[in-house]
Structure 1
Amino acid sequence: KAYEYMWKFYILEGNKRVSVLKYLGVPEVMADVIRIMPEKSEDEAVKRYYEFDRFFRVAGMYDIVFSEEGCYQRLADILGENLDEHWSDESLEKLRTAFYSFSKQYPGYETAVSDGFLIYLTFFGIDGLVTDRPEEIRKKIEKIHTEFVVNSRDKSIAFVEKPYAEAETASALSILMRPVYSNSKPFKAAFIYDGEPSNSSWIYGHELGRNRLSEYYQGLVETTVFTGRNTEESFTNAVRAAAEDMADLVVTTSPTQMEMALRAAVAFPRLKIINCSINHSYSAVRTYYGKMHEAKFLMGALAASVARGHRIGYVSDYPIYGAAARINAFAIGAAMVDPDISVYLTWTSLEKGSWREFMEQNGITTISGPDLIKPADASRDYGLYQIDGDGAVKNIAMPVWDWGRYYELIIRNIMNGGWEREQNSIRGQALNYWWGMSLGVIDVITSGNLSYNTYKMLNMFKKAIINETIHPFDGELRSQSGVIKKTDDPQLTNEQIISMDWLNDNVTGSFPALSELSEAGRRVVKFSGISSIYG
């Protein structure tokens, strides 16, 4: 008889027998085990243990122990199961066989075997572990050995906040070895979208950026585009076509494409592949994103300067990494102009209800709406706007993602040899380009409906952010539940900003439950949701 608490066993009866069996190297012994659950808390180990308990109840396996919360849910997704209903015999047999096969061939990198198993499944799936020969499994493990190293690091992501500068000490040989591009031999970039630009404001923005490349580089850069590639087969076909065309760069613009991009990176190791997402710790695919919280800080200050009744509405899209930083920066900027301001938060990704109805029900007429509009959508309810008494919409400002500028800088960085130098200088970490207003990839544009004093305030704040003399998260920070950061505490790290899971004290609203999200919302959260909230 034994008790089990937080993965440790305490023998109540049969101590001598267990001691002898342990001495003889017997890996396990039958026993009646009573599990004692810890009190629920925000402690990471406790939250991880509760997820393990859910997994154990549906799968009955004790061998798989992950080091992070959310991994059991990812494992369930891979097998087409969930953590609420008992898994099918077929899934359990496949899982046991696959884990045993992987464990026998895993050479013991720094990453624990269970975490390594999940990384392997992300790249290669589970079926091969059941059917492949041992030597084939070993070869696949070796192909992604860098991913195991990255996963083992405490700081697994390196945030690159500026393009890698042209090194003055670059050797003549390294310069001569770089590819030389010309109009007859252009740099080739392939863009792979998971939808159509005409139906998605997000993709439309990237498409504008792609088109700008041709104009800016005047024939030195050639781009191709693949749309509607939202399945494994169609995505792989697009990557294969890019590889056959000898593409220098493959651009994927949605976090939902990340896992497909990872598998493509292994299948086509020559390709440079980037994915527009944040906080993914894989070295095979580099990620890129913008510091939109800088623009939202300015938008909040603008909103408070024109708001009526100390109330502003804020419309967010998905509760993913970076979303809370944008909401909080907006709320902080607003509070700096009007200390009594309240920010009413809602989401476009909810299954039920409409954000417009939410604003109308709360009597809010100054609104920070969706950042982008669909090409076919004639609505003016985007960016920062006000609704007049007669119902007319008056646009005030909008944040801008300048993807053309972003892609221009990424391609120039590759042409200058920056990609390789980054690879050599940042070892054992995933690489995330995280650029903002100082590089011109993020901005705020305004209408003519502002006073000259408001323009003056906006420009002062903008210059201060670009020069890094103002940071939205400097000084004391207070959430809805208390003080997050004291005045003299160190500045928040990039990781803390991106992974924020709290809302500022002047925000009225909350993060939606997973069950409240639409199907599209749940899909996005599955790939980029804030892990401390959604696991």
Structure 2
Amino acid sequence: MDEYNKARRAGLKAYNQAEDNGQNPYPEVLDKLVNTGSLKELNVGVISIPTDQIIGTKTQGRQNAFACNFMPLLDAESEFGRKWAALYASQVEEGIRDAILVYEYLHRFYVQEGNKRVSVLKFLEMPVIQADVRRLMPAKPDKLYQAFLKFYKVCPLYELDFSEASSYLKFAELLDQDLENQWPEKLRMHINTAFYAFRKEYLRSTDRISNVSDAFLTFVSMYGMDELRRMSSSAIRQKISAIRSEVQIRSSGDNIVVKENPQEKKSGLLPDLTKIIPQYTASRPLRLSFVYDSTPEISSWNYDHEVGRIYLKQKFGDLVRTECYENKKDGQPLREALDKAAKTSDAVFTVSPLQVNETMKAAVRHPNVRFLNCSLYLPAKAVRAYYARMYEVKFLLGALAAMMSDNHRICYIADYPIYGTVANINAFAIGASLVDPRSQIILGWSGVNDEDWQKELKYLGVDIFSGPDLAQLSEDSTVFGLCQLEQDGYIRNLAMPVVNWAKYYEKLVQTMLDGEWNNEEAGKYKAVNYWWGLEAGAADIVVSSSVPYTSAKMIELMKDALRAGRLSPFSHELRSQNGIIQGAKAGRLSNEQIIRMDWLNDNVIGVIPEYGKLSEEAKELTRVAGVDTVRGSR
């Protein structure tokens, strides 16, 4: 009876702790949680289920014989105690073969038959148990459970228990799978084996900072499933330790600190040692690498970043040394470029969201190098994101569009439904409505299949439209920014948004030269994202001389108010196509609410496209940084 007494002590400890914390000291009772008789029952079959997902009993029955951790509470000399001890001996000698009967509700199991078997196996820390599973379907399943059911249909594994609905799709993409077609049986076996190998080492960690499934997802995203399967136990433990911060950041809320302006150099009573003994000199310059997904010759996006890189050499002279790698979009070429850059650089910049996953992996491989990725809303400790806060400029463009329009109808062409894009659309629409309350914004998407927005302009009845932000270097195109469509078909440029990457990179690099990089750390488990706009000089608007001077003057006045914080498109009353977002006395939306915005202003005519309607290029970007509603439509 020694083992029973050990189990009972564990039960009494859990019982007392639960009572002290004001919690139920017994296993949950499903019949008390929900009216099970009203729910649809599905027979899942006899399968192996994770013992740590068994949290209660179907009926009250034997509930009081167990503590909340399923350890026994009754005296060792009781009939219950003797039966438990006999069952334990049977398990040790032969193993328990009979399946228990459980009901699954919202990805948790409640025992109908086999409570003592569960207790014994939990005491022995057995990870799985055979069970005849009956699923009870909730009347209105939440998004998380819907996502799990969709996953289970193609890959029937209960083990994966993510805390976010989007994680099931992320996991599928990591394995080149989807949530529509059955996954190969061999792959399911590999996932199961890899998961339990990871779980064993993760549970041995003294600093468990996330649920096992979320940590597993982060691990696989960093190292890959195949590499995990080849790792020894000690290698898994070592790599878990290396990515501990990333696991915590990705599994917790409020995990990103958005820096809206550059860090001011701190002054104190003690002398500035970086000036007395500078960290970087002409003989030991700050070494920077820029890794482009395309080339500056054919990509206006890469060209602008290249202008910024060249400016750094002019601005800082011998204090800074730069180099660039071109056409390193993804896969092995990007991986090799990042490793090569890391060996010779103090900081590495990648300029596309498509490069973020490989950038993350490189940052883990090279922890002493600073890595930055040009993207928005990146929950990562090892890589800092940087992007321009463009909604302020779009707000000004919207106001100018309404000033110049003759018929209240303005066309806005967006590119991809990724983080920040919807905020740009809404800021434009709000700016237009402030000038002209009757304005209508006709929304189109260049990243949608079979949609030629330039051809459709003449049928929309608009004379003002907002096209691509940048001119395409590979095309003979002057159609970008805010434009006016003349009656004879001539297109006149009125204004354009500008991102001053030279200024952006100058200020980022200055923080490194000043020794301020580490001072911007936002906490052990916080990610830093730079999102600089008008006030920082990172974004601006250029107005054509063809615009009436009074309109240009109004834009300057509004720009000054935005810089000073006296004006914001996302404060006070906001209304979407479906109703009121916030009231008249409300303050500005949070940065997260703005970045992840997935609603359209009430004067916008159009929709956010579903994933299936996007071009392949748009799908690529959306998989990495798409707004929640689009990723959820997959």
TM-score range, shorter chain: over 0.9
Q: Which runs of 5+ in 2 are unaligned?
A: 1-100, 123-127
| 1:64 matched to 2:160 | yes
Q: CA deviation at 1:171?
A: 4.8
Q: Aligned in 2, Cα 1:358/1:386: closer, same or farther, shift over 3 Å?
A: same
Q: CA deviation at 1:177?
A: 9.2
- Residue in 1 that maps onto 2:313: 214
| 1:504 matched to 2:598 | no
1:5 and 1:38 in contact (8 A); partners too: no
Q: CA deviation at 1:233?
A: 1.7
| 1:455 matched to 2:552 | yes
2:102 and 2:131 in contact (8 A); partners too: no
Cα RMSD after superposing both structures: 1.8
**What secondary structure, in the 3-state scheme, does the structure 2 residue paired with 1:439 have?**
coil
Q: CA deviation at 1:172?
A: 4.4
Q: CA deviation at 1:111?
A: 0.9
2:609 and 2:630 in contact (8 A); partners too: no
Q: Aligned in 2, Cα 1:170/1:191: closer, same or farther, shift over 3 Å?
A: farther
Tell me the alpha carbon deviations over residues 148-200 of structure 1, each in whole angstroms, 9 at most, x when there is no partner. Answer: 22234321101112222211127548537975333443322110011122222
Match of 1:139 among 223, 238, 249: 238
| 1:401 matched to 2:502 | no
Q: CA deviation at 1:204?
A: 1.8
- Residue in 2 that maps onto 1:7: 107
Q: CA deviation at 1:272?
A: 0.6
- Residue in 2 that maps onto 1:31: 132
Which amino acid is the alignment partner of residue 553 of structure 2?
K
- Residue in 2 that maps onto 1:97: 193
Provide the rounded CA distance (Å) in 2 between the counterparts of 1:178 and 1:121. 43
1:319 and 1:511 in contact (8 A); partners too: yes
| 1:522 matched to 2:619 | yes
Alignment of 1:118-267 (within 5 A): 118-169=217-268, 171-172=270-271, 175=274, 179-245=278-344, 247-267=345-365
Provide the rounded CA distance (Å) in 1 between the counterparts of 2:557 and 2:444. 30
2:214 and 2:251 in contact (8 A); partners too: no
- Residue in 2 that maps onto 1:492: 589
Match of 2:471 among 368, 373, 388: 373
Alignment of 1:298-313 (within 5 A): 298-313=396-411
Q: Aligned in 2, Cα 1:173/1:401: closer, same or farther, shift over 3 Å?
A: closer
2:258 and 2:528 in contact (8 A); partners too: yes
Alignment of 1:354-373 (within 5 A): 354-373=452-471
Q: Aligned in 2, Cα 1:476/1:19: closer, same or farther, shift over 3 Å?
A: same
Q: CA deviation at 1:359?
A: 2.0
Tell me the alpha carbon deviations over residues 259-313 of structure 1, each in whole angstroms, 9 at most, x when there is no partner. Answer: 1001101111121110011112110101011110000000000000001210000
Q: CA deviation at 1:10?
A: 4.9
- Residue in 1 that maps onto 2:383: 285
Q: Aligned in 2, Cα 1:441/1:243: closer, same or farther, shift over 3 Å?
A: same
1:109 and 1:149 in contact (8 A); partners too: no
Provide the rounded CA distance (Å) in 1 between the counterparts of 2:405 and 2:382. 46
- Residue in 1 that maps onto 2:15: none
**What secondary structure, in the 3-state scheme, does the structure 2 residue paired with 1:24 have?**
helix
- Residue in 1 that maps onto 2:80: none
- Residue in 2 that maps onto 1:478: 575
Tell me the alpha carbon deviations over residues 494-517 of structure 1, each in whole angstroms, 9 at most, x when there is no partner. Answer: 111101010000001111111111
Which amino acid is the alignment partner of residue 533 of structure 2?
G
Which amino acid is the alignment partner of residue 257 of structure 2?
A
Which amino acid is the alignment partner of residue 474 of structure 1?
S
Which amino acid is the alignment partner of residue 117 of structure 1?
F
2:611 and 2:630 in contact (8 A); partners too: no
- Residue in 2 that maps onto 1:339: 437
Q: CA deviation at 1:126?
A: 1.0
1:252 and 1:274 in contact (8 A); partners too: yes
Which amino acid is the alignment partner of residue 179 of structure 2?
L
Provide the rounded CA distance (Å) in 2 between the counterparts of 1:338 and 1:38. 46
Provide the rounded CA distance (Å) in 2 between the counterparts of 1:275 and 1:141. 23
Provide the rounded CA distance (Å) in 1 between the counterparts of 2:434 and 2:310. 39
1:213 and 1:408 in contact (8 A); partners too: yes
Provide the rounded CA distance (Å) in 1 between the counterparts of 2:136 and 2:299. 49
Q: Aligned in 2, Cα 1:179/1:6: closer, same or farther, shift over 3 Å?
A: farther
1:190 and 1:224 in contact (8 A); partners too: yes
Provide the rounded CA distance (Å) in 2 between the counterparts of 1:48 and 1:32. 20
Alignment of 1:430-441 (within 5 A): 430-441=527-538
Worse-superposed segment, 270-279 or 24-33:
24-33
2:104 and 2:133 in contact (8 A); partners too: no
Q: Aligned in 2, Cα 1:8/1:132: closer, same or farther, shift over 3 Å?
A: closer
Q: Aligned in 2, Cα 1:314/1:262: closer, same or farther, shift over 3 Å?
A: same
- Residue in 1 that maps onto 2:77: none
**What secondary structure, in the 3-state scheme, does the structure 1 residue paired with 2:494 have?**
strand
Provide the rounded CA distance (Å) in 2 between the counterparts of 1:186 and 1:273. 17
Q: Aligned in 2, Cα 1:472/1:181: closer, same or farther, shift over 3 Å?
A: same
Q: Aligned in 2, Cα 1:175/1:532: closer, same or farther, shift over 3 Å?
A: same
**What secondary structure, in the 3-state scheme, does the structure 2 residue paired with 1:431 have?**
strand
**What secondary structure, in the 3-state scheme, does the structure 2 residue paired with 1:450 have?**
coil
* TM-score (ref. length: structure 1): 0.94
Which amino acid is the alignment partner of residue 445 of structure 1?
V
Larger Rg computed on CA atoms: 2
Provide the rounded CA distance (Å) in 2 between the counterparts of 1:470 and 1:220. 39
Q: CA deviation at 1:28?
A: 3.0
1:159 and 1:432 in contact (8 A); partners too: yes
Worse-superposed segment, 194-203 or 269-278:
194-203
**What secondary structure, in the 3-state scheme, does the structure 1 residue paired with 2:535 have?**
helix
Provide the rounded CA distance (Å) in 2 between the counterparts of 1:324 and 1:207. 27
| 1:411 matched to 2:411 | no
Q: CA deviation at 1:209?
A: 1.5
Q: Aligned in 2, Cα 1:139/1:411: closer, same or farther, shift over 3 Å?
A: same
Which amino acid is the alignment partner of residue 591 of structure 2?
N
Match of 2:214 among 112, 115, 138: 115
- Residue in 2 that maps onto 1:43: none
Worse-superposed segment, 351-360 or 426-435:
351-360
Provide the rounded CA distance (Å) in 2 between the counterparts of 1:36 and 1:62. 15
Q: Aligned in 2, Cα 1:60/1:296: closer, same or farther, shift over 3 Å?
A: same
Identify which of structures 1 and 2 has the higher relative contact order when contacts are C-alpha pairs closer than 8 Å and 6+ apart: 1
* Identical pairs, percent: 36
